[in-house]
Chains A and B, each alone.
Chain A
Amino acid sequence: MSESKTIHFRIRKFNPETDPAPSWKTFAVPFAKGMTVLDGLHWIKRNQDTGLAFRYSCRMGVCGSCGMLINGRPTLACNTQVAALKAAMVVVAPLPNFHTVRDLVPDLTPMFEKHQAIRPFILREDKGEMDAPTAEFYQTPHELEEYLQFSFCIRCGACMAACPTMATDRDYPGPMPLAQAYRYSADSRDGGFAERAKAVDRKSGVFSCHFGSECSAACPKGVDPAKAIQLMKRRLVFDYLRLFKAKKPCGGVHGQRTTGRREGIPEAPEYTIK
Chain B
Amino acid sequence: MSSKSYDNHLGIKGWALGGAWSPERYLYTLHRVTGLGILSYFLLHILVTTSRAFGPAQWNALLGDGGFLRHPVFVVGEFLVLAAFGFHAANGVRLILIELGFAVGRPIEPVYPYKTSLHASRFVTVVLMLAGAAFIVLGGLEFLRH
B50 in contact (CB, < 8 A): no
The answer to whether B14 touches A149, judged by C-beta atoms less than 8 angstroms apart, is: no
Q: Count of chain B residues with Cβ under 8 Å from any Cβ of A? A: 48
Q: How far is the CA of A211 from the CA of B15 in the complex (A)?
A: 12
Chain A interface residue count: which class? 35 or more
Contacts of A262 in B (CB 8 A): none
The answer to whether B104 touches A231, judged by C-beta atoms less than 8 angstroms apart, is: yes
A212 in contact (CB, < 8 A): yes
With CB as the reference atom, state the residue of chain A lying closest to B105: A227
The answer to whether A164 touches B14, judged by C-beta atoms less than 8 angstroms apart, is: yes
Secondary structure of the B contact surface, majority rule: loop
Contacts of B14 in A (CB 8 A): 96-97, 163-164, 166-168
A265 in contact (CB, < 8 A): no
Interface residues of A in 1-38 (CB under 8 A from B): 14, 16-17, 21-22
Task: Identify A214's interface contact among B13, B22, B31, B100, CB under 8 A.
Answer: B22
Q: Which of A98-106, A125-133, A250-258 contacts B (4 or more CB under 8 A)?
A: A98-106
A190 in contact (CB, < 8 A): no
Task: Identify B6's interface contact among A21, A72, A209, A213, CB under 8 A.
Answer: A21
B114 in contact (CB, < 8 A): yes
With CB as the reference atom, state the residue of chain A lying closest to B9: A97
Give A residues with C-beta under 8 Å from B: 14, 16-17, 21-22, 69, 72-74, 94-101, 106-107, 109, 145-150, 152, 161-164, 166-168, 170, 186, 207, 209-214, 216-219, 221-224, 226-228, 230-231, 233-235, 237
Q: How far is the CA of A160 from the CA of B100 in the complex (A)?
A: 22
The answer to whether A226 touches B117, judged by C-beta atoms less than 8 angstroms apart, is: yes
Taking the closest CB of chain A, its distance from the CB of B45, in whole angstroms, is 25
* With A96-B9, A212-B24: A145-B19 Cβ-Cβ less than 8 Å: no
Q: How far is the CA of A43 from the CA of B7 in the complex (A)?
A: 28
